[in-house]
């Protein structure tokens, strides 16, 4: 058994205890109070943009010195536009209906008892995430609106950026009379802090990892805290025999190049053999100067400029300007390929066939399934949820982008008049 540094253990446990205590009272807070804190946070983000950018540049400089890829540096970067988007995301959360207290169902039993199923906060949410400082704000906003406390453990690459954002959150909470303990950022980059979080059952109600396969596997395999599996996205676009090739080019281009370092970016394009000879040269001309296209044997026969793919490419989440391309003999083969190699995140078909569109929607097992649209829409903001705490690829409790309702649970409330069970 790994021996964890006692100081780190005590610090993390202390923060977990503080969030838990603050969350008890906060769970009863009105929507008015929660919205006031979020409005304050939005205003402070905008007012502090230059300070945030300056501190973020320290993280970027350190990242460049460490040799981080361009894709990772892009995920780490905060600009005025991105900070404004963060602030706008918080304002959108304010406008959303508060799910806490919602009666999901209510009925009366023959003995006169009235039973209601009511939404309540989860309690304390733990988030482990990597080099995306915007997650600090998105998660805090959703957790606060849904009545939860949150314990954050960001990646070391974004440590300074996360610190300044967490400080802005704390100041916003205090300004409206709420405890700054409600949102806590773990103040160490030591990986031993993650090991403490994995066993923090006394203080965390759920743990959500946001990052690469290594992080997600670690949490799902070793956490004794209930965990929600999120985010690994080996997403496909299947270009059907009936597809509009112009539409398919637009969709594949957007799904791959608009932001390749995110989990909803497409990593593989599957092309029906009947359109492959026309589509593949057009695809190379469209994105080949920006994206390394790796093709299977059939694809390279039709478009020799493709790099050679090997079997590992069909399972790779590149998170970069790389895409695998494979020719399919049939619609059924495409479904089988997605079933074997997909990660149940987001899958798309481009087709003019109503029958195949419906079969794709019905038969593909994924959190989000698209007909004639880019996989890049799998996002809390794009779905009208304000933001997201992650994109769940599992099937228990939450699936797909996790917004406010996914950060609540339910309890049964029973009102009687003296009934006893015989």
pLDDT of residue 2: 59
Q: Of the given ranges (11-25, 44-58, 327-341, 394-408), which has the lowest mean pLDDT?
A: 394-408
Instruction: State whether residue 119 is helix, strand or coil.
Output: strand
Residue 29 φ then ψ, to 5°: -65, 150
pLDDT of residue 1: 47
Residue pair 248/325 in contact by the 8 Å Cβ criterion: no
* Kind and range of the H or E run holding 413: strand 408-415
Query: What's 4's DSSP letter?
Result: P
Residue pair 325/296 in contact by the 8 Å Cβ criterion: yes
Please say if the pLDDT value at position 267 is more than 80: yes
Instruction: State whether residue 390 is helix, strand or coil.
Output: coil
pLDDT in tens, 112-159: 999 999 999 999 999 999 888 999 999 999 999 999 999 999 999 999
pLDDT of residue 300: 97
Cα–Cα dist 211/419, whole Å: 51
**Residue 274, both tokens:** 């009947």
| Rg, C-alpha atoms of the chain | 23
**Residue 209, both tokens:** 């990892």
pLDDT in tens, 71-115: 789 889 999 999 999 999 999 999 999 999 999 999 999 999 999
Name the one residue in this structure whose structure tokens are 């400029």.
305
Q: Which letter, b or e, does each residue of 327-350 get, where b requires 16 or more Cβ atoms within 10 Å of its Cβ?
A: bbeebebbbebbeebbbbbbbbbb
pLDDT of residue 262: 87
Mean pLDDT of 215-238: 90
pLDDT of residue 46: 97
pLDDT of residue 157: 94
**How confident is residue 29, by pLDDT bands cut at 50, 70 and 90?**
very high
Q: Give the percent of the chain with pLDDT over 90.
A: 86
Closest listed residue to residue 263, CA positions, set 311, 231, 220: 231
pLDDT of residue 375: 98
- Per the rule left: phi > 0, alpha: psi between -120 and 50, beta: everything else, 101 is left
**How confident is residue 311, by pLDDT bands cut at 50, 70 and 90?**
very high
Instruction: State whether residue 224 is helix, strand or coil.
Output: coil
pLDDT of residue 358: 98
pLDDT of residue 128: 95
**How confident is residue 3, by pLDDT bands cut at 50, 70 and 90?**
low
Say which residue, 78 or 385, is predicted with more confidence.
78
Residue pair 165/141 in contact by the 8 Å Cβ criterion: no
In DSSP terms, 350 is beta-bridged to: 239
Give all domains of the chain, ordered by start, each with its CATH number. Answer: 6-228+402-415 (3.40.605.10), 235-377 (3.40.309.10)
**Residue 173, both tokens:** 């909470």
In DSSP terms, 413 is beta-bridged to: 116
Residue pair 226/252 in contact by the 8 Å Cβ criterion: no
Q: Give the percent of the chain with pLDDT over 70.
A: 99
- Extract long-range pairs of 54-61: CB within 8 Å, 24+ residues apart: 55/160, 55/161, 55/163, 55/164, 56/133, 56/160, 56/161, 58/160, 59/133, 59/157, 59/158, 59/159, 59/160, 59/161
Q: Of the given ranges (40-49, 99-108, 213-222, 292-301), which has the lowest mean pLDDT?
A: 213-222
pLDDT of residue 398: 87
Say which residue, 373 or 319, is predicted with more confidence.
373
DSSP for 198-231 reads HT-TTT-SEEEEES-HHHHHHHHHH-SS-B--B-
pLDDT of residue 231: 72
Mean pLDDT of 274-301: 97
Taking the alpha carbons at both ends of the chain, their separation in whole angstroms is: 51
pLDDT in tens, 402-419: 999 999 999 999 999 999
Residue pair 202/233 in contact by the 8 Å Cβ criterion: no
pLDDT in tens, 327-370: 999 999 999 999 999 999 999 999 999 999 999 999 999 999 99
Global pTM value: 0.86
Stated length of the chain: 422
pLDDT of residue 37: 98
List strand residue ranges (DSSP E) for 132-182, in order.
Answer: 149-153
Cα–Cα dist 184/75, whole Å: 22
pLDDT of residue 215: 87
């Amino acid at each position: 058994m790994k021996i964890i540094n006692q100081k780190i253990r005590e610090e993390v446990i202390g923060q977990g205890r503080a969030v838990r205590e603050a969350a008890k009272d906060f769970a009863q807070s009105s929507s008015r109070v929660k919205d006031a804190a979020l409005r304050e946070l939005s205003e402070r983000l905008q007012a502090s943009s230059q300070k945030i950018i300056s501190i973020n540049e320290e993280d970027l400089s350190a990242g460049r010195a460490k040799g981080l890829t361009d894709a990772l540096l892009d995920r780490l970067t905060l600009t005025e536009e991105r900070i404004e988007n963060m602030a706008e995301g918080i304002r959108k959360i304010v406008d959303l209906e508060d799910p806490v207290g919602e009666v999901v169902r209510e009925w009366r039993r023959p003995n006169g008892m009235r039973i209601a199923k009511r939404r309540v906060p989860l309690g304390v949410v733990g988030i482990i995430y990597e080099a995306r400082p915007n997650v600090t704000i998105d998660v805090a906003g959703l957790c606060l609106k849904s009545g939860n406390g949150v314990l954050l453990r960001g990646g070391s690459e974004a440590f300074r950026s996360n610190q300044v954002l967490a400080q802005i959150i704390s100041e916003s909470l205090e300004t409206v009379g709420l405890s700054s303990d409600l949102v806590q950022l773990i103040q160490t980059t030591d990986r031993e802090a993650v090991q403490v979080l994995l066993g923090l059952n006394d203080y965390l109600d759920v743990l959500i990892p946001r990052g690469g396969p290594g992080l997600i596997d670690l949490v799902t395999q070793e956490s004794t805290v209930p965990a929600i599996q999120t985010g690994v996205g080996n997403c496909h676009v299947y270009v059907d025999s009936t597809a509009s090739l112009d539409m398919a080019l637009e969709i594949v281009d957007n799904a791959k190049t608009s932001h390749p370092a995110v989990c909803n970016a497409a990593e593989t394009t599957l092309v029906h053999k009947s359109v492959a000879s026309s589509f593949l040269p057009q695809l190379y001309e469209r994105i080949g100067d920006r994206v390394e296209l790796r093709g299977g044997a059939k694809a390279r026969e039709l478009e020799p400029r493709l790099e050679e793919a090997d079997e590992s490419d069909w399972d790779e989440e590149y998170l970069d300007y790389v895409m695998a391309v494979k020719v399919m003999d049939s619609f059924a083969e495409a479904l089988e390929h997605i079933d074997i190699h997909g990660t149940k995140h987001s899958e798309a078909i481009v087709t003019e066939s109503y029958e195949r569109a419906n079969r794709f929607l019905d038969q593909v097992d994924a959190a989000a399934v698209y007909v004639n649209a880019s996989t890049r829409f799998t996002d809390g903001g794009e779905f009208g949820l304000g933001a997201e705490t992650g994109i769940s690829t599992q099937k228990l409790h939450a699936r797909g982008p996790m917004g406010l309702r996914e950060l609540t649970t339910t309890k049964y409330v029973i009102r009687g008049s003296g009934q006893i069970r015989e």
